[in-house]
Amino acid sequence: EAGVVQSPRYKIIEKKQPVAFWCNPISGHNTLYWYLQNLGQGPELLIRYENEEAVDDSQLPKDRFSAERLKGVDSTLKIQPAELGDSAVYLCASSPNRVRTDTQYFGPGTRLTVL
Amino acid sequence: AQTVTQSQPEMSVQEAETVTLSCTYDTSESNYYLFWYKQPPSRQMILVIRQEAYKQQNATENRFSVNFQKAAKSFSLKISDSQLGDTAMYFCAFMKHVGNFNKFYFGSGTKLNVKP
């Protein structure tokens, strides 16, 4: 079974430029998460999707961040414009939407460096 | 609000020895789940072990076991016979149900270095 796929793995951009990250979850997983992980810290939730619906985006900085999950499968996270403080690893995770005992499966992450 | 605290930013252990990583959490929920995740250097995070709060028996997965103390809100991870491949960041995570969905909270991590 293929795991969560993310691309690109690394991205270097200059501040004020736009950037987009792509995630393909495990087949059949209805729930998709985007996390922000700063260096030496644990992941912090940005947004969670149930199928194509964003059900928790309270931590997403909506002035510059946006996300979409068309058709309830792949998802894209965008930052426009990027700021120096956005340098971090952006993790995507997915899980089957069972009522009990969900476990998240993480992708390898996209390491963003904003210069 | 739920919080997860890992008080050991970094630990070292000799190969083949045993090490225990600490985790405490704060919640008013009675039903929840706890997890330990491993994140090797430059590699993706993977699940090590999980524990349902309603189960009294501590979870075990091969060399990995937990000491779950519900009253004390403590969830430590014991790694026996440490191997070089155990070198990684370890994250403790708490999950609760919110309506029909689940919400996760992660600790800040413990960096484990297994020395040969």
- Digits of tens for pLDDT over chain A (115 positions)? 679 999 999 999 999 999 999 999 999 888 899 999 998 889 999 999 988 889 888 889 999 999 999 888 999 999 999 999 999 999 999 988 655 456 889 999 999 999 9
Lowest mean pLDDT, pick from A53-57, A107-111, B17-21, B85-89:
A53-57
Longest dimension (CA), chain A: 43
| pLDDT score, position B2 | 67
Nearest CB to B44; choose among A33, A50, A106: A106
Torsion angle (degrees, nearest 10) of CA A72, A99, B102, A56: 40
Q: Are strands A110-114 and A10-13 parallel, antiparallel or unpaired?
A: parallel
Contacts of A66 (CB under 8 A, 6+ apart): A77, A78, A80
Which of A14, A38, A21, A32 shows the shortest CA–CA distance to A79?
Answer: A21
Residues of A in contact with B31 (CB under 8 A): none
Which of A30, A38, A43, A34 shows the shortest CA–CA distance to A93?
Answer: A34
**pLDDT, tens only, B47-81:** 999 999 988 899 999 999 999 999 999 999 999 99
